[in-house]
Amino acid sequence: FLGNRFKNNNIIWLNGGDTFGNQYIEVWNALGASIHAETPQLLQTFHPRGRQQSSDWFHTASWLDFNMFQSGHRTYDQDDSEKGFGEDNWRYVTVDYHLEPTKPTLDGEPSYEGIPQGLHDTLQPLWNENDVRRYAYWSVFAGAAGFTYGHSAIMQFYTEKDGEGAYGNKMDWQVALQAAGAGQMQYLKQLMLSYTYMSRVPDEDLVVTQGERYNYLAATRGADYVMIYTYTGRTIEVHMGKIEGNQVDALWYNPKDGSKLSIGTFKNEGIQVFDPPGEIHEGNDWVLLLESA
């Protein structure tokens, strides 16, 4: 019934709906297979619970077109999951990236802007625009096909007449449409689509010292460009010579506003060191761009 009802609509099916794939697995497979039979032209995935991924159970299922994971709303210290990835949502991408058959993957539910860390304790700090940028760039640079932005107020369409909002939310959803993180997502899209997209690959070997947790450096490249993201503005040491050309033009890309700052031209050999603008702290994030000269 569902497949036939919506077969002419341009929708994406999320099987499961934020649940455990290993519970009632026959139900999810029946839903997936029957909906796929009715709407084979529409994309379908599975929405798992926090810190799980659809590939845990359904990667080889014929009805699953792309993988989805939920990195969730917990901090490193709050994470008690079996995987133990904490806030490292790029690790889920790495797992899916190396699976066969090849299927796209993305973070379908990362920490939402304006929602408490850990979700349920409203006295905890709220995830902010810095956090959602970090999740976005980490996962896309690791090879994800996209990213899902969320905001607490918009998720529940909260208005003042609703009284007490879920997860301590007090912001009107229409005000939240102008949230800083929401506005900054466009700059990731602009960056990725301004270079050759389909041949891009993640490449951790570009950086000499990758770093852990917030000091992690996410690196990706195409044939004639390199992108390396730092969340804290730490110094980046780069193994050169992995893209075309004898020289590269270097630039800083600002994820907050999409602006670029020229650094200079460098030899495409050995190890080059790049120091981002500003002091080292969380949210002083930059993308180092290297382009074949």
Write down the pLDDT at residue 81. 92
Give start and end residues of each alpha helix (H) in 110-251. Answer: 129-141, 152-155, 173-176, 180-193
Give start and end residues of each alpha helix (H) in the chain. Answer: 2-5, 25-38, 90-97, 129-141, 152-155, 173-176, 180-193
Predicted model pTM? 0.94
Quick: pLDDT tens for 220-241.
999 999 999 999 999 999 999 9
Q: What's the CATH architecture for 201-292? A: Sandwich (2.60)
Average pLDDT rounded to a whole number, residues 11-26 = 94
Q: For the chain, first and last CA: distance in Å?
A: 57
Name the DSSP class of 59: T
Q: Write out the two tokens for 29.
A: 């497979």
Quick: pLDDT tens for 154-207.
999 999 999 889 999 999 999 999 999 999 999 999 999 999 999 999 999 999
Listed by start position, the domains of the chain span 2-193, 201-292
Determine contact, residues 132/113, Cβ cutoff 8 Å.
yes
Quick: pLDDT tens for 49-77.
999 999 999 999 999 999 999 999 999 99
